[in-house]
Amino acid sequence: MKSSGQSDGTHGRLVDVGGTRLYVEQRGPEHGLPVFVLHGGPGLDHHEFADYLDPLADTSRLLLVDQRAQGRSDRDSDPSTWTLETMADDVSRLAAMLGLGEYAVLGHSYGAFVALQHACDAPGAALGTVVSGGLPSMRFLDGLEQRLAEFEPVELREQVTGSWAREAEARTAEEFAAIMHDQLPWHFADPRDPRIPEYEKKTAGTVYAPDMLRAFSGDSGGIDLEGRLHSVTQPVLALGGRHDRTCPPAASEVTAAGVRDGRCVIFEESGHMTFVEEPARYVQVVGDFLAHLQR
């Protein structure tokens, strides 16, 4: 990987994007289409994807990014820069620093907000954008409190609702990890999905950023892009889970319909964790999209 950054001694590199350094881990061949992979949270890191996307690295060059002030990226950036706009600009800066003329972007959850912001702020900069479990505007979060109040099974309701309430108070990585543990049932179509413990084991290396979680608690960065979708010129693949309780499938449908070249795929057996709940289909759909970009 070409950059002006320095290795951290593992499988990644810190890349200077001006004002801060972002940790980037590469998987896949140098000759493959570069794909920036943006994690959710905010406050998580690239471990969110574990090895679920690795089959894409057979043909694409996955560049998993720990976004600004998160994960193994530098933590000393000015909190006033912790915005969707700045994190979207970080994608363009990373591409420039890595000497990438062509690339794609895949973002999941909060990473999908950043990916869509990048598509709106820099139309055509990416060959294509995958918006996975995202939203084009805050209105799609309307009714979230009611959905929490009605969450079933009842015996998990207090655990899940309490995890959301604690986001605004998290001060340590341990507190953040406990929040994620308690909240995971909410993000799966089946709150008792037997794959949840396996997913937790696979993501055990996550370096949590509680300051980032607190900063965005309750407003998800204030995403407001629905009126700007028409300006996006590159192909957009919007992915949603039929049973997603946070980012409903209608948000993915609106995103795909609003851009010039959009496609929406809804995963009928999934909640928010589509790449975990239906991994084979997820990889197939994304892989086909990326292959199409290179034709």
In sequence order, the 6+-apart residues with CB closer than 8 A to the CB of 99 are 2
Q: Which fold has domain 6-142+221-293?
A: Rossmann fold (3.40.50)
The encoded tokens of residue 173 equal 């990585």
Kindly report the pTM of this predicted structure: 0.95
Distance separating alpha carbons of residues 247 and 15, to the nearest angstrom: 31
> Does the pLDDT value for residue 131 go beyond 50?
yes
pLDDT digits (tens, 9 = 90+) for 173-223: 999 999 999 999 999 999 999 999 999 999 999 999 999 999 987 666 789
Q: Would you say 247 and 223 are in contact if contact means Cβ atoms under 8 Å apart? A: no
Cβ-based burial of 52 (10 A; exposed 0-12, middle 13-18, buried ≥19)? middle
Q: How confident is the model at residue 219, as a pLDDT?
A: 65
DSSP, residue by residue, the chain? ---SSEE-SSSEEEEE-SSSEEEEEEES-TTSEEEEEE--TTT--GGGGTTTTGGGGGTEEEEEEE-TTSTTS-S-S-GGG-SHHHHHHHHHHHHHHTT-SS-EEEEETHHHHHHHHHHHHSTTSSSEEEEES--SBGGGGTTHHHHHHT-SSHHHHHHHHHHHHHGGG--SHHHHHHHHHHHHHHHSSSTT-THHHHHHHHTTT----HHHHHHHTTTGGG-B-GGGGGG--S-EEEEEETT-SSS-HHHHHHHHHHSSSEEEEEETT-SS-HHHHSHHHHHHHHHHHHHHHT-
Mean pLDDT for the chain? Answer: 94
Return the pLDDT at 220.
60
Cis peptide before 42 (omega within 30 of 0): yes
Q: What is the 3-state secondary structure (H, E, C) of 148-175?
A: HHCCCCHHHHHHHHHHHHHHHHCCCHHH
Which residues does 58 contact at the CB level (< 8 Å), separation at least 6?
Answer: 28
* Cβ–Cβ < 8 Å for 239, 131: yes
**Using CA atoms, how far apart are residues 289 and 276, in angstroms rounded to an integer?**
19
What is the model's pLDDT at position 6? 41
Average pLDDT over residues 106-130: 98
Give the span between the Cα atoms of 133 and 113, in whole angstroms: 9
Residue 287 is predicted with a pLDDT of 98
The arithmetic mean of pLDDT across residues 264-273, rounded, is 98
Model confidence at 285: pLDDT above 70: yes
Summarised one tens digit per residue, pLDDT across range 48-87 is: 999 999 999 999 999 999 999 999 999 988 999 999 999 9
Residue range 147-171: mean pLDDT, rounded: 96
Evaluate whether 232 touches 120 at the Cβ level (below 8 Å).
Answer: yes
